[in-house]
Amino acid sequence: MRFRKLATIALTGAVIAPLLAACGSSGDSKNEIKIAYQRSTDNNSRIMDNFLAGVKKQFEKANPGKTVKLIPIQATENDYYTKLDLMMKSPRTAPDLAYEDTFLINSDIKAGFLRPIDAQVKSWDQWSQFQDTAKQSVTGQDGKVYGVPDGTDTRGIWYNKQVFAKAGLPANWEPKSWNDLLSAARQIKKKVPGAIPMNLYTGKAGGEASSMQGFEMLLYGTSDQLYNPQQKKWVVGSKGFQDSMNFLKTVYSTGLGPKPSQALDANISTNINTDWFPNAKIGFSIDGSWTANNWISTGPKPWKDWTKDIGWTAMPTQNGQAPGKTSMSGGWSWAITKNAKNPTLAWKFITAMQTEPNAVKYDNASQNIAVRKDVAADAKYQNSSPTVKFFTDLVAATHYRPAYAEYPKVSTVIQEQMEAVTTGSSSPAKASADYDKAVADIVGNNTTKDSGPAK
């Protein structure tokens, strides 16, 4: 059984059956493609729903007799990954096209779920528009291409200016170190007792948000990292790892973050962005470039004054060391499944979906950072949001997860150890030691205590 970010989630037949039935229903496979994608539980799903509905209409009009069946999977990210795996595993239930988180590409290749598309991209006149880093994100360890990326992201700090004003903190906040973050949180706790000072995603329910927005935004601001690319080994026993766990402990053991019961709620992101921020109940949160999606007119919580009441700034390195700020980047892609009944038509749909006008439309609606050069240069994209330039510029200081087959397992261990520290059931030192042992169990002898050259 494949180990996923929440591999222990029990998915009953009653939950999975409707999805399997949707993919396994009868139809003319030569003239129909089935597309599986995540419909999030925080109402942001309308962006993808509307975009795909529009492309479906375009495609069916341009290709008479061909039909597109959209199969939304309404679930948290963790549940989505698990459900999608179950669908892709069987020829009977596999969709033709799947919305794939790029960090899972190598593990899904290893599981036999995806098919390479090198021949297709080689002859596609639009492939040259995609940035090299984006192409690399959909390239397997075997050197073959397995998907077409639709955008990337960066991460920083979002803060509520109303809460900051009450706490006596500056409207144009630029923290220079972790100590600056803690000092601001302590000041908010003291002067604005009704507000949660800060949020740092943590625990298993948060899934990859805990790993990336939470832990890795800390770790990659130290001198250490998860994986040494020069040695091609996983890093264990690093000072940066334990320092990051110590920061986490400080936040949750001294009341600077949400209560553990709130922090470990799978809906915490929804709570923060549709309640706590709009209602000035939180000071700041480390989160992604897409966060403002919640507050635009078509978002789940339209907020007319968000550009006035919300600020955004870079995540500082641990002690302000060069380059002074850090970020993490991920992204999603469209992949043709190994068991696709109509891979040729699926590829045709990808090319119809990934035109420059469609890419501009989706990136603007979703607050994605463009992965196409022509989209990045498009005036509509550049002027789509007051945050676009700031979060795009963070690419210069960003890092990427080690997208190897072992990473999903490693990420799960990070979340487990974060949760143990958050609840107080483990110390930072023990959590770090337990992480080292678990990683060794996952990757064998392929570990090192050397993080490699300074990042």
Domain of residue 107, CATH code:
3.40.190.10
305 Cα distance to chain centroid: 26
Residue 93 sits in the same domain as residue 241: no
- Check residue 56 and give its pLDDT: 98
What percent of the chain is predicted at pLDDT more than 70? 92
Average pLDDT over residues 440-446: 97
Report whether pLDDT(340) > 80. Answer: yes
Average pLDDT over residues 84-95: 96
Instruction: Quote the CA–CA distance of 240 and 225 in Å, as a whole number.
Output: 8
Report whether pLDDT(15) > 80. Answer: no
- Check residue 17 and give its pLDDT: 52
Average pLDDT over residues 84-99: 97
Residue 274 sits in the same domain as residue 379: no
- Check residue 117 and give its pLDDT: 98
Domain assignment present for residue 119? The answer is: yes
What percent of the chain is predicted at pLDDT more than 90? 85
Average pLDDT over residues 159-183: 98
Report whether pLDDT(24) > 90. Answer: no
Residue 317 sits in the same domain as residue 342: no
Report whether pLDDT(118) > 50. Answer: yes
Residue 320 sits in the same domain as residue 217: yes
Domain assignment present for residue 47? The answer is: yes
Residue 201 sits in the same domain as residue 101: no
Report whether pLDDT(364) > 50. Answer: yes
- Check residue 134 and give its pLDDT: 92
Instruction: Quote the CA–CA distance of 148 and 138 in Å, as a whole number.
Output: 7
- Check residue 23 and give its pLDDT: 57
Report whether pLDDT(5) > 60. Answer: no
- Check residue 45 and give its pLDDT: 66
In b/e form, how buried is each residue of 256-276, taking b as 16+ CB within 10 angstroms?
Answer: bbbebeebbbbebbbbbbbeb
Instruction: Quote the CA–CA distance of 275 and 419 in Å, as a whole number.
Output: 24
Residue 230 sits in the same domain as residue 371: no
Instruction: Quote the CA–CA distance of 169 and 160 in Å, as a whole number.
Output: 10
Domain assignment present for residue 382? The answer is: yes
Residue 385 sits in the same domain as residue 339: yes
Domain assignment present for residue 25? The answer is: no
Mean pLDDT of the chain: 92
Residue 385 confidence class, pLDDT cut points 50, 70, 90: very high
Instruction: Quote the CA–CA distance of 454 and 188 in Å, as a whole number.
Output: 34
Instruction: Quote the CA–CA distance of 163 and 309 in Å, as a whole number.
Output: 9
| Of the listed ranges 27-31, 109-113, 307-311, the one predicted with least confidence | 27-31
Contact 145, 347 (CB under 8 A): no
Number of domains the chain contains: 2
Instruction: Quote the CA–CA distance of 388 and 416 in Å, as a whole number.
Output: 33
Residue 129 sits in the same domain as residue 42: yes
| Of the listed ranges 19-23, 180-184, 313-317, the one predicted with least confidence | 19-23
Residue 213 sits in the same domain as residue 77: no
Domain assignment present for residue 97? The answer is: yes
Average pLDDT over residues 169-190: 98
Write the pLDDT tens digit of every residue in 213-268.
999 999 999 999 999 999 999 999 999 999 999 999 999 999 999 999 999 999 99
Report whether pLDDT(349) > 80. Answer: yes
Report whether pLDDT(130) > 90. Answer: yes
Residue range(s) defining the domain that contains residue 78? 32-146+331-400
Q: Which comes out higher in pLDDT, residue 75 or 124? A: 124
Report whether pLDDT(120) > 90. Answer: yes
Domain assignment present for residue 380? The answer is: yes
SS (H, E, C) the chain: CCCCCCCCCCCCHHHHHHHHHHHHCCCCCCCEEEEEEEECCCCCHHHHHHHHHHHHHHHHHHCCCCEEEEEEEECCHHHHHHHHHHHHHCCCCCCCEEEEEHHHHHHHHHCCCECCCHHHHHCCCCHHHECHHHHHHCECCCCCECCEEEEECCEEEEEEHHHHHHHCCCCCCCCCCHHHHHHHHHHHHHHCCCCEEEECCCCCCCCHHHHHHHHHHHHCCCCCCCEECCCCEEECCCHHHHHHHHHHHHHHHCCCCCCHHHHCCCCHHHHHHHHHCCCCCEEEEEEECCHHHHCCCCCCCCCCCHHHHEEEECEECCCCCCCCEEEEECEEEEEEECCCCCHHHHHHHHHHHCCHHHHHHHHHHHCCECCEHHHHCCHHHHCCCCCHHHHHHHHHHEEECCCCCCHHHHHHHHHHHHHHHHHCCCCHHHHHHHHHHHHHHHHCCCEECCCCCCC
| Of the listed ranges 201-210, 263-272, 445-454, the one predicted with least confidence | 445-454
Domain assignment present for residue 454? The answer is: no
- Check residue 14 and give its pLDDT: 43
pTM comes to 0.86
Report whether pLDDT(26) > 80. Answer: no
Domain assignment present for residue 13? The answer is: no
Report whether pLDDT(87) > 70. Answer: yes
Count of CB atoms situated within 10 Å of the CB of 383: 11
